[in-house]
Each structure stands twice: as structure tokens, then as C-alpha cells.
Amino acid sequence: MTDALAVVLVAVAATFVWRALGAVLVGRVDPDGAVVRWFALTSYALLAALVVRLLILPTGSLGQLPLWIRLGAMAATLAVWWLSRRSVLPAVLAGTLCIVAAAVVLADG
């Protein structure tokens, strides 16, 4: 089993290297170049995969809830986001409330 502190330090290094590279190369690179665009798209795809792993294939406590409830909370989040004209806080609150309410009902039943 990998050590948790080592994991944190690896994440620190993996993030800081990009910030430092930007600070060093200021004025010498094109922020809209092909390489930057590929990385941006890859990070979007990776984050989407992360959402799938967190909600559809969870390793932790969220797995206690049935899949349909997790999918319902995802749908509620996106629906409220859309209906509230793309505001983040109501959307996140709505999805979170779905999870809490479902967990309360399941715990009682």
C-alpha cells in the first residue's frame, strides 16, 4: 500500500511543475497552441472519467447508496444547473440534498 503522505507530495509536485513552467516561460509560449489545446481536452476527458469513477464506480462510502440514487442526484444537479441558467451553487445544493434525503429514507426503511 502506497503511503498517503507520498501521494500528497506527488500531487504537490505534479501540480507545481506546471505553475513553475508557466512562470519561467512567460512571454515565450503561445497559450493557445496545439499542445496546450491537447492537454486541455485531455484534462476535460480525465475529469469526466473521474466523475464516473466517483459516482458510478465508487470505491468508498458512496457505494452504500444504490446506483439509481447516485444517477438521480447527478441528473438533479445538471437539471437545476440548466434551469437556474448555469448557476453553480443551487445545482450543487440540489444534488447534495438528493443524496442526503435518499440516505435518510434508506436508513429509516
Partner 1 sequence: MDRSETASAALAGLRGAAGVPMLLTAGGMAGFGALAHDTGFSGWQAVLATVAVWALPAQVVAAEMYAAGADLLAIAIAAALTSMRFFPMAVALLPGFGRPPGGMAGRLLQAHLMSATSWAFMMRPAVPTAPRPRLAYHSGFTLGCISVAAAATLAGYHGAAGLPGPLALGLLFLNAAFFMVLLADSRSRQALLAVALGAVLCVPIHAVLPEASLVLSGVAGGSIAFALGDRWRRRQ
Quickly tell me which residue has 466517483 as its cell. Answer: 54
Query: Coil, strand, or helix at residue 56?
Result: coil
Q: Which of 59, 68, 85, 109 binds partner 1 (CB under 8 A)?
A: 59
Half-sphere exposure of 21 (CA within 13 A, CB side): 9
CB 38 → partner 1: shortest distance, Å? 5
Q: Of residues 69-98, which lie at the interface with partner 1 (CB under 8 A)?
A: 73-74, 77-78, 81-82, 86, 88-89, 91-92, 95-97
**Binding string, 34-53, against partner 1, x = CB under 8 A?**
--xxxxxxxxxxxxxxxxxx
Is residue 8 part of the contact set for partner 1 (CB under 8 A)? yes
- Residue 56 or 68: which CB sits closer to partner 1? 56
Binding residues for partner 1, rule CB under 8 A, total 76
Instruction: Quickly list H helices, 1-109.
Output: 4-24, 34-55, 67-83, 88-108
Maximum Cα interatomic distance, the chain, rounded to a whole number of Å? 62
